[in-house]
Each structure stands twice: as structure tokens, then as C-alpha cells.
Structure 1
Amino acid sequence: MSNNSVTPHISKAFDKDLENIRTRVLEMGGLVEQQLLNALKSLVDSDLELAEGVLETEYRINSMEVSIDEDCTKILARRQPAAGDLRLVLAVSKTITDLERVGDEAQKIAKMAIDLSQKQGPKSYYIGINSMGNHVCKMLRGALDAFARMDSRAALEVAGREPESDDQYAALLRQMITYMIEDPRSITSVIDAIWCARSLERVGDHARNICEYVIYFVEGKDVRHISLEEMAREVNSDSKS
């Protein structure tokens, strides 16, 4: 089910406030997604300039989170929203927290890219990481698209991809352990690569969280900490709160 816009209010200013925070979340999401893509590319291509660019602009994500959160607080204080409006403000507040954390993971990957490029580790370390990175980047993009359209079914579909990121992470760990056994001299570089994979696994978790907030707003149901099967039943049920 989708809900592309909030219910119009008598106060046009209230409508503008709600639409403004939604728009700014998507702007923040676009920046976070680009940071993640740049961090991943800097890792795979040993691009120091791109990695340093990620580190230099990370502050913008933090600033956007603080600004949007302040606006959410003002809406809660001035408008005292109820029902769907309140769920929207809460969903926005939670979403920007997850986006900021994705930005943190992008920053970690960029730092690792700088470190690994100096150690000149074999490119084979990065093949699996690049594949996993593409998967979680698509998850993040899908989660943001579901948020833009407030589409709970789309959010459910994206959340359903999260177990695959866990599987890819487990496979990468096995691969990295093999590298360390075969060449103990690679241990330091391999451990750094494992931390990059861990960051990507967390990005998948944050993308799923954003999908859960979309479902919460649209369906009025808290689907955190439940299985995907239970989540699907909540989204596909006819009952609405």
C-alpha cells in the first residue's frame, strides 16, 4: 500500500512543514547514498582523492541530521500532531538517525580505503566486498524510493533483501579467513577488509530499518523485531489502524 502525501490540513503552513521535512530527508538520503558509492569506489579503485572527499564532506550529513531533527522537534511542540501526522514525524526522526549512521559507515570505508591503498593488498580482497557493496547500495536506494513514495509494499520488498547481505557477509568472512591461512603476512590487510565488509552489513541493517519506518507510517503498525513473514502479513492484511 502506498500513501504519497499526508492528508491536507486547514493550516497550509502545517502541510508545508510536513512536506519540507520529507523533502529534506530525501536530500540527505541522496547525499548519504553518494557518499557510500564514493567510499566503495575509492576502496575498489584505491582512489585516495575520492576517499578523502568522503571524509571532508561527511560533516554535511551530520549537519543535516541535526537540522531536520530540530525541525521535527518544532513541529511536535507547535503543531502537536496526532495519528498519521505524528507517525510521519517519528518516521522522519528515526530515518535521519539511520541515514547518519550509514554516513558513518561510509566514512569508515573511506578511511580503510586510504589505509589499504598504502598497504597495497591484492585486489582479490575487494571483489567480494564490491559485490556486497552493490547489493546494499541498491537496498539503500530502494528504501529511499519507498520512503519517497511512502509505499509499504515496496518497503517490504527491500527489507526482504536484507538476509542476502548477511549471507554475503558470512561468505566474505570465510573467504578472508582462507586468505589469512594461506598467507599469514596478509592478516593485517585482510582484517581491515573484514571491517569494510562489516560496515556494509550494517548499511543493509539500516536500509531495512528505514523500510520498517515506512511501513509504520503507512500501515500504523510497528514491525520492528519481527520476522519478514510476520512483516509481510502486517503489510498485506486489510486491517488498518
Structure 2
Amino acid sequence: MVMDIKSHTHHISQQYNLELDEIKTKLSEMGGLAQRQVNDAIQALIDADAETAERVVREDDHVNDMELDIDEDCVRILARRQPAASDLRLVIAVTKAITDLERVGDEASKIARQAIALSGDGSTPRGYVEVRHIGGHVSRMLSDALDAFARLDIDLALRVVETDNTVDMEYNSAMREMLTFMMEDPRNISRALNIMWSLRALERIGDHARNLAQYVVYLVKGEDVRHESYDEIQEQIQDDNE
């Protein structure tokens, strides 16, 4: 099911339409910045690129500022317009989405800090293959979740939720491998911990992408599915369509 968020609702008040469009546009811009942070942080870690990593850390302040700005816009709409039905769901979903995107920025900064810590190490730590692989999954999840939110695409949102299960399994496998790596030689512990913290941050970014996807279901169906599994969400949507 796909519905363009720009045609979510139209009102007689042109100003009200502009206010709703503005929070959608700002959310898209914030999502784009958060996604760039994630991609840059992953690449900085793999390439031992301290300069790029430091830029990711600096950009986190911009993400934080965007969250505050959009939140103020949403509060203003709630106070002045007293939105109902789908408009209210949109404003609520945006306020939740920006919180997740702010936390995505935080997790990207954590990865960037690990990249800075490892950049002076001449050796290539184990775990980079896992970082690249899980990072690719998570980056696509975030991109798809933002796209699903913009187009109100439930099918795409469900794929994001499903992919999160895959990421969780791959994360657990990677962590077991890193623990084995540390046990083989205590000299590996420091480097392995840096990679483990990065993998943990990637797993958390996947969780936030899943949250964004679940807000799509809330926007379209008006149902809160944050604590439901992929199968439960899919079954609920199918029941609604019958």
C-alpha cells in the first residue's frame, strides 16, 4: 500500500498546509543528514579515516539542532491548529521519528569515535567484514524506512521490520566471533572492543530504522505496532484489509 505523504490531507487554510509540508520536508532533510552520518561513520571505520570520523562527530550537533527545530514546529501546530485524525497522527509520528533520527546520529558518532580510536593502529582488526556487511544492511534499512515514511508505503515498511530480524541474528553471530578473537590472544582485546562497540551501534541504528518503519503503519492504519513482531504486524494488516 503506497500513499504520497505530500497528499496526506489538504485544508482550506493554505498556511496550515504549508506548516504540515514544512515538518515533512524538515524530517526528510534530517533523515538525509542522519543517513549520511551513518554511511560516513562506517566508511571512516573501515578506512581508518580520522578526518571523516571527526566530521561525523561534529555533525551530530546539527542533527540535535534539527530535532529541536522540528519539535518546536510540531508543538506549535498542536497548539494552534489542534489537528485531528490523520493530521494528528502525522504530527505525532514526526515527533517520534525525529527522536529516533537523533539517536541514529548519536550511534553514528559512537562509530566515528571508535574509528578515531583505531585510526592510529597499524593493524587491520578482525570484524571489519562484519562491520561492512551489517553496516550495508542497516544503511539500506534506514534509507528504506525514510522512503516508506515519505510515501506511506506499508509494504516497504514491513520489509524494513523483517530485515531487522536478520540484522539481529548477524549481530549476535559477529559478537560471538569477536569474543572468540579476544580469547585467542589478550592483546586483541582493546581492538576487538572497539569493533564490538561499533557493531552494537549498528544494531541499534537498525532498531531505530525499524521504529521509523513501524510509524508508517501507525500513520496509515492508526495502530501502534511498536511492540509487535513482524509476523504479528503482517497478520494485523492482512486482517484490516479483509
TM-score range, shorter chain: over 0.9
- Matched residue type, 1:212: Q
2-side partners of 1:239 and 1:177: how far apart? 46
Contact 1:2/1:151, CA 8 A, preserved across alignment = yes
Matched position secondary structure for 1:237: helix
Structure 1 position 239, deviation (Å): 5.2
2:93 matched residue in structure 1: 91
Q: Counterpart amino acid of 1:155?
A: A
Contact 1:44 1:123 in 2 (8 A): no
**Aligned partners of 1:143 and 1:207 also within 8 Å:** yes
Match of 2:182?
Answer: 180
| Cα deviation, residue 121, structure 1 | 4.2
Gaps of 5+ in 2: none
Q: CA deviation at 1:238?
A: 3.6
Number of equivalenced pairs: 240
Q: Is the 8 A contact 2:50 2:116 kept in 1?
A: yes
One-letter code aligned to 1:95: A
- Residue 62 of structure 1 aligns to a residue in which SS? helix
In the other structure, the counterpart of 1:199 is 201
CA distance in 2, matches of 1:130, 1:171: 14
Amino acid at match of 1:9: H
Q: Distance in 1 between matches of 2:15 and 2:123?
A: 56
The partner residue of 1:76 within 75, 78, 92 is 78
Letter matched to residue 2 of structure 1: V
**Is residue 152–residue 219 contact of structure 1 (8 Å, CA) maintained in 2?**
no
Q: Contact conserved, 1:28 with 1:64, CA < 8 A, in 2?
A: yes
Give the superposition deviation at 1:55: 1.2
Please give the secondary structure, in 1, of the residue aligned with 2:127. Answer: helix
Q: Distance in 2 between matches of 1:42 and 1:60?
A: 19
Which residue is equivalent to 1:51? 53
Deviating 4+ runs (over 4 angstroms): none
Give the residue type in structure 2 aligned to 1:208: R
Q: Which residue of 2 aligns with 1:139?
A: 141
SS at match of 1:124: coil
CA contact (8 A) 2:164 2:207 kept: yes
Cα deviation 1:172-196 (Å, max 9, x = unaligned): 1111012112111011110111010
- 2:138 matched to 1:127? no
Distance in 2, matches of 1:56 and 1:41, equals 16
> Greater shift after overlay, 153-162 or 105-114?
153-162
Provide the residue aligned with 1:40 in structure 2.
42
Query: Which amino acid is 1:217 matched to?
Result: L
1:201, distance to aligned residue in structure 2 (A): 0.3
Contact 1:176–1:194, Cα closer than 8 Å, also in 2: yes
Q: Which amino acid aligns with 1:26?
A: S
Give the TM-score taking structure 2 as reference length. Answer: 0.96
CA distance in 1, matches of 2:59, 2:127: 27
Deviation at residue 62 of structure 1 after TM alignment: 0.4
Q: How many Å apart are 1:228 and its aligned residue?
A: 1.0
Residue identity in the other structure for 2:180 = T
Larger mean Cα displacement after TM superposition, 50-59 or 24-33? 50-59
Q: Specify whether residues 196 and 121 from structure 1 end up closer, same or farther in structure 2 by C-alpha distance, changes over 3 A only.
A: farther
2:164 to 162, 165, 181: 162
- Partner of 2:227, secondary structure, is coil
2:3 match = 3
Kindly state the Cα deviation for residue 236 of structure 1 after the two structures are TM-superposed: 2.7
**Counterparts of 1:101 and 1:232, CA distance in 2:** 27
Identity %: 49
1:125–1:238 CA distance, 2 compared to 1 (3 A): closer
